[in-house]
Amino acid sequence: MKKTLLVISACAGSFLLGAFINAPDDPKKPITSEMIDVASRVIGLVFSPAERDSMLDNLESRRKDYDELRKIDLPNSVAPALYFNPIPAGFAMPTGVSSFKQSAPTKFMLNRADLPYYTVGQLGELLRTKQITSVELTRFFLDRLKKYDTQLHCVVTLTEDLAMEQARRADAEINQNKFRGPLHGIPYGAKDLLAKQGYKTTWGAMPYKDQNIEVDATVIRKLEDAGAILCAKMTLGALAMGDYWFGGQTRNPWNTKNGSSGSSAGSASGVSAGLLPFAIGTETLGSIVSPATVCGVTGLRPTFGRVSRHGAMALSWSMDKIGPITRSVEDCALVFNAIYGPDANDPTTLANAPFRYAPVSSLKGMRIGYVRKGFESSYPNRANDSITLATLRGLGADLVPIDLPTGVPANRISFLLGVEAAAAFDDLTRSDRDDLLVRQTKNSWPNSFRSARLVPAVEYIQANRARTRLINEMAQVLKTANVDVYVSPSYAGGNLTLTNLTGHPCVVLPNGFTKEKLPTSITFMGQLYEEGKLLAVAKAYQDATDWHQKHPALQ
């Protein structure tokens, strides 16, 4: 390895590895008391000379352990033996059977000018009534992907041959009245960190641009079982950060001079532009919420462990979540209904809670919380968010102020993500292939991965213990407020980081525009495993507005 890292152990069982001072070309130089002194001060501790001398043998022994550990083949798909559990103490898991009630279809005649922006539910009705075939629909969206990707840079790989094959099969089955459900014959796109046999899975990053992973991600398999049509692998910021990938920057259809945010950059951009009816995104710390906000679409971040991550790139094993990006809340429900559930290939999914969804006609008398600190602070979208609260009151909701827990500052333990990401891409750092990533700023992955090597294993464990406290405190907040759903500014108030750490589900949906005519959003939050209630409330709000029916004008 050309780079010499100042290394402190990231392996539980030792405190630190040591600092290699004045020996940039000799990482095997014996550890000295002076090295330990410098290394310990990096992490804010001081040991006496006698204590440092006593540590030398242990640290030399640990260094040999690390050398042997690095000889073990640990691809990104191998998860740690420790699994994150978002369930607080005393939590009662929802029980019973799942149920799904889709809104009654509205009869209408196909208007091809509106075809790019029909919802999944509307397209399903067109297919069911045979006003259009899946082959016609798939060809239509493939052509749009080809036409507008030159502006938006939202596609990594078109899966055209596969899509047409799947569409022909869907038409044959529909013609034989073998209807698989509301996604049967509907085109979609998948964020290109989900593997599909026969196609590259690039993770948006130059070092992996020719990578083939010959498995089908569980999410893709489930959508295939539901009859959906995979048209494209969509862009993501390299290794799931931002909107810069090895092919450039994915653009926002509302203003193509701007990026689409990330990391589910292509999924949000493509749906917003009417290039696909829905797409699959992922979130670790805002990667569904942020691009959905910027692109003016609707996204569901499910409860941690609700959707299998088998066949997906791992960034943070304790924070990664997979969910749909769509035009409407009910479209999120339709897609989630097809992809959630246990998978033996992902042990974090084995809590088999039911999913029960049914639209509600009124919010009258319903207690809905709102994050007081967020809404009362000064932030860019305050005016639109205030109107959202007024709309909820107008729908009859009883709005209850809540204060998020403060005993554990969420931003002080969010370094957990960086440590896990550094482990997931350890070989990339040690091989120097991190130099191939497009972005090389202080805030980009290469520097983050290197910096994470200095996080002591003890602090990583302590942060996870603090996370347990945060989970339990969050449960107490919701219990005291007696709410199943609360609303939060999408960015202000600290909700985004906190709830990505606790694993709670959210729906983000458009609630207006800025003075620059760019979309804004509001976030609805739910109890763990209660996506059904969350989606029903969010849909009632969305039905009372028309922001989701606004679309960018593409040239």
CA angle at 282 for the pair 211 and 542, rounded to the nearest 5°: 145
Out of 40, 134, 191, 272, pick the active-site residue: 191
- Whether 261 and 367 map to the same domain: the answer is yes
- Whether 402 and 304 map to the same domain: the answer is yes
Give the per-residue pLDDT at 244. Answer: 98
Domain that holds residue 47: 1-72
pLDDT band at 420 (very low <50, low <70, confident <90, very high): very high
Question: In this structure, is residue 85 part of a structural domain?
Answer: no
For residue 154, the domain's CATH number is 3.90.1300.10
Q: What are phi and psi of 59, to 5 degrees?
A: -70, -40
Tell me the residue type at 229: I
Beta-carbon contacts of 530 under 8 Å, excluding residues fewer than 6 positions away, are 94, 484, 505
- Whether 13 and 116 map to the same domain: the answer is no
Q: What is the pLDDT of residues 41-78, one digit of tens each?
A: 999 999 999 999 999 999 999 999 999 999 999 999 99
Give the per-residue pLDDT at 368. Answer: 98
Residue 292 has pLDDT above 60, yes or no: yes
Mean pLDDT of 510-514: 98
- Whether 68 and 118 map to the same domain: the answer is no
Tokens standing for residue 327: 């035009």
Instruction: Give the torsion sign (CA, 223, 312, 501, 92).
Output: positive
Q: What's the CA dihedral at 491, 495, 501, 506 to 10 degrees?
A: -80
Catalytic-residue membership of 191: yes
- Whether 1 and 119 map to the same domain: the answer is no
- Whether 234 and 160 map to the same domain: the answer is yes
For 349, 500, 545, the CA distances from 86, given in Å and listed in that order, are: 11, 10, 33
Question: In this structure, is residue 80 part of a structural domain?
Answer: no
Question: In this structure, is residue 427 part of a structural domain?
Answer: no
Question: In this structure, is residue 413 part of a structural domain?
Answer: no
Out of 40, 261, 263, 316, pick the active-site residue: 263
Mean pLDDT of 313-338: 98
Question: In this structure, is residue 484 part of a structural domain?
Answer: yes
CB 265 within 8 A of CB 489: no
Q: What's the CA dihedral at 466, 469, 471, 474 to 10 degrees?
A: -120
Residue 125 has pLDDT above 90, yes or no: yes
Question: In this structure, is residue 231 part of a structural domain?
Answer: yes
Residue 21 has pLDDT above 70, yes or no: no
Helices (H), 95-180: 120-128, 134-152, 160-175
Q: What is the pLDDT of residues 166-199, one digit of tens each?
A: 999 999 999 999 999 999 999 999 999 999 999 9
- Whether 45 and 139 map to the same domain: the answer is no
Catalytic-residue membership of 414: no
Out of 287, 328, 448, 521, pick the active-site residue: 287
Give the per-residue pLDDT at 10. Answer: 41
- Whether 188 and 323 map to the same domain: the answer is yes
- Whether 132 and 9 map to the same domain: the answer is no
Catalytic-residue membership of 263: yes
Question: In this structure, is residue 458 part of a structural domain?
Answer: no
- Number of separate domains in the chain: 2
Give the per-residue pLDDT at 28. Answer: 79
- Whether 61 and 140 map to the same domain: the answer is no
Give the per-residue pLDDT at 16. Answer: 42
Instruction: Give the torsion sign (CA, 203, 222, 343, 349).
Output: positive
- Whether 126 and 26 map to the same domain: the answer is no
* pTM exceeding the 0.85 threshold for the entire prediction: yes
- Whether 31 and 156 map to the same domain: the answer is no
Question: In this structure, is residue 432 part of a structural domain?
Answer: no
